[in-house]
Amino acid sequence: MSKAFTKETDHDDDDDDVMPSMPTGVKNYITPQGYARLRGELMQLIDDERPRMVETVHWAASNGDRSENGDYLYGKKRLREIDRRIRFLTKRLEKAEVADPSVHHGGDQVFFGATVTYANEAGDEKTITILGVDEVDSLQGQVSWIAPISRALLRSRVGDTVLLQTPGGVEEIEVLEVSYPAPQQAG
């Protein structure tokens, strides 16, 4: 079958379609743990998953007709996904600015890496941890340092009231508690 009739393309898909984007001119802050996790994923893709998939594609290609060979077609697609992720991780790690939040341990001012408990005007309390774009998990109460709530809280101190712009209007929130991870012991 002619390549003209397949959905397979020679050009790379746009990396930004699936990955979180960074605003132009903004540093890509990340914690040491987040950096290590991304680097670990990159190394696992390069050292393990990609070579294994190349071997599978090579084996599937040797079986003959590639147009109806599911192992070959899936393998090629998965290889493109792996390569896309490798490119993305490489770019993000090159631009990463590692910031260790433990240097603020014991402080009461909100900086990158802080876990902040705040209350809105209704008295509802919420706790968030401010992390890098590439390491947040909203289900764990983690938010990106470029999120509106983080921007409102940054540089505030325990007891401060800050204004948060929400879709429903401006909301006052009070900083109740700020904490940071303890410094790691060398050894």
pLDDT at 102: 93
Percent of the chain with pLDDT over 70: 85
Q: Three-state SS for 37? A: helix
Residue 14 has pLDDT above 70, yes or no: no
Lowest mean pLDDT among 17-21, 63-67, 99-103: 17-21
Q: Where are the alpha helices (DSSP H) in 62-161?
A: 70-95, 148-153
| Helix, strand, coil percentages in the chain from 3-state DSSP, rounded to 5 | 40, 20, 40
pLDDT in tens, 140-168: 999 999 999 999 999 999 999 999 998 98
Question: pLDDT averaged over the chain?
Answer: 87
Residue 178 has pLDDT above 50, yes or no: yes
CATH numbers and ranges of domains, the chain: 26-98 (1.10.287.180), 101-179 (3.10.50.30)
What is the number of other CB atoms lying within 10 angstroms of the CB of residue 160? Answer: 16
Which residues contact residue 184 at a Cβ distance below 8 angstroms, ignoring those fewer than 6 apart?
102
This prediction has a pTM of 0.78
Split at pLDDT 50, 70, 90, the class of 1 is very low
pLDDT in tens, 74-132: 999 999 999 999 999 999 999 999 999 999 998 999 999 999 999 999 999 999 999 99
Q: How far is CA 127 from CA 21, 38, 142, 178, in A?
A: 25, 25, 9, 9
Split at pLDDT 50, 70, 90, the class of 186 is low
Which residues contact residue 78 at a Cβ distance below 8 angstroms, ignoring those fewer than 6 apart?
53
